[in-house]
Amino acid sequence: MNKSKHTFIIILVANFFFFLNFSQLMLLPKFIVHLGLGPADIGYVMGFFSISVLVALPLVGLLSEKISKKILFLIGASLMCFSTPLYAYITHLGPAIFTLRVIQGLGFACAFGITGAMVFEIGTGKNRRTLLGMLTASNITTHAIGPAFGEYMIHAWGFGPFFFSAALFGLLGMILGFFLPAKKRIGYDSPSAFTRSLPFMIAAAVLGIVFGTAVMFLPSYLLSVGIGNSSAFFIAFVCGSLIVWFVLVKALDHLTESFKWIAMVLLMLSLPLWAGAINSLTLLVGLSLAFGIGYGYLYPTINAFIIDSLPGKKGVANSLFVWSFNLGMLMASFGVGTASALFGYRKAFVLIGLLGLGLLFMKKWMNRSWTQSHSIS
């Protein structure tokens, strides 16, 4: 095994356990309800995390060009890990729980804000996108494993052991972080170079809106149409993302970039555009699988584009991508919630699907920005 593959495996596994810590806390709303609080309180608590991530990411990106990305990952994993057990001592809504969410937002920004750049630095050519795709697929897998294991812990042992088990996963990720490469690569891009990242940032934000709409609002919509168990969506979504980079990756190499982009956008948008027609588990699984395949391809592809557009500032570029995606998620949480209340879930989903179609027309703009960045560099 060569050094690059060995390094990639360490990054992959360390990030996997970090994300298990993070994904298990997707069940935090259940704990908030357990405290006797309501939906508005859930929104406030969960929103503090997103706001913290958005505020911290630009600084993390700049720091990643000055200090080792390994140090930033260790800081992030430590903040996420050691703050998680403290939820067990929360008894009411107050400054303590909001402080923990802010700390974990900082941890997420530090750890995940730079892993894409670390992967990009050890890859070469098209291999970089494949590696980012495998990283994305690994992260998405935790979205199924973490909550499923968390549900078991809550029902079998209660919230205390649930939080400590999540922290244990984070601790494993932090320990593995000590084996990450310690070097830092400092480059230079002129201030005007950052304007070339704009189309990729917009594309990432749109992707975040579509993804956020599905994971935050599809389960409640399914409940309203008589499908009480939304686990089929998450399982099929994860399977679709895995299929892209572990089954279809070689076949995709024979297709043109434009064809792949159009096909994957349409596959992803089939879920929001046709969500109103879901009346069976079979159709739900089919649309969720298509959504996972499209998203699983588009997320690392846009990530690779934005990093490659700023060749001298890979850490900053990756932070810009994660920042833009999370901005889209935050926009979805407020915008789609309001639209659903005003027009109903089905019309809100269609609106998001139509918004997502804008990605079809952004490819040429992205290609032009990428070409400009490489002709200059």
| Residue 1 pLDDT > 70 | no
Q: Measured between alpha carbons, how far is residue 45 from residues 131, 250, 290 in Å? A: 34, 43, 32
How big is the chain by its Cα radius of gyration, in Å?
20
Confidence of residue 338 (pLDDT cuts 50, 70, 90): confident
The predicted pLDDT at position 184 comes to 55
Q: Quick one: average pLDDT of 279-286?
A: 90
| Residue type (1 letter), 239 | C
Show the domains of the chain with their CATH numbers. 1-179 (1.20.1250.20), 195-377 (1.20.1250.20)
* Percent of the residues in the chain that have a pLDDT greater than 90, as a whole number: 34
Q: What pLDDT score does 92 carry? A: 86
Other beta carbons within 10 Å of 71: 17
How far apart, in whole angstroms, are the C-alpha atoms of residue 98 and residue 86?
12
- pLDDT tens digits for range 219-229: 778 878 887 76
Q: Please say if the pLDDT value at position 8 is more than 90.
A: no
What does the pLDDT read at residue 188? 47
pLDDT at res. 185: 54
Please tell me the distance from the alpha carbon of residue 218 to that of residue 235, in angstroms, as a whole number: 14
Q: How deeply is 53 buried, as exposed, middle or buried, from its count of CB atoms within 10 A (0-12, 13-18, 19+)?
A: buried
The mean pLDDT value of the chain amounts to 84
Is the confidence at residue 345, as pLDDT, over 70?
yes
C-alpha–C-alpha distance, residues 149 and 338, integer Å: 32
Helix 127-157, helix 3-24: angle, nearest 10: 30
Check residue 372 and give its pLDDT. Answer: 57
Mean pLDDT within 248-269? 85
pLDDT band with cut points at 50, 70 and 90 for residue 22: very high
Q: Which pLDDT tens digit goes with each residue over 291-320? A: 999 999 999 889 888 887 776 677 778 888
What average pLDDT does this structure show over 361-373? 68
Instruction: Please give the pLDDT value at position 351.
Output: 94
Task: Report d(CA 180, CA 300) in Å as an integer.
Answer: 21
Q: How far apart are CA 316 and CA 310, in angstroms?
A: 8
Q: Name the least confident of 69-73, 211-215, 350-354.
A: 211-215
pLDDT, residue 377, reads 46
Instruction: Please say if the pLDDT value at position 369 is more than 70.
Output: no
Q: How far is it, in rounded angstroms, from Cα 148 to Cα 255?
A: 36
Q: Please tell me the predicted confidence (pLDDT) of residue 93.
A: 83
- Our CA dihedral for 242, 275, 216, 167, rounded to 10 degrees, sits at -30
The listed range with the strongest mean pLDDT (56-60, 271-275, 321-325) is 271-275
| Integer CA distances (angstroms), 98 to 45, 79, 104, 131, 316, in order | 6, 14, 10, 35, 27
Which of 91-95, 180-184, 202-206, 207-211 comes out lowest in average pLDDT? 180-184
Provide mean pLDDT across the span 185-192.
50
Check whether 153 has a pLDDT greater than 50. Answer: yes
Residue 146 pLDDT grade (very low, low, confident, very high; cuts 50, 70, 90): confident
With bands split at pLDDT 50, 70 and 90, how would you rate the model's confidence at 82?
A: very high
End-to-end Cα separation, the chain, in angstroms: 32
pLDDT at 317: 81
- Token pair for residue 190? 């002129």
> Is residue 357's pLDDT more than 60?
yes
Percent of the chain topping pLDDT 70: 89
Model confidence at 376, pLDDT cuts 50, 70, 90, reads very low
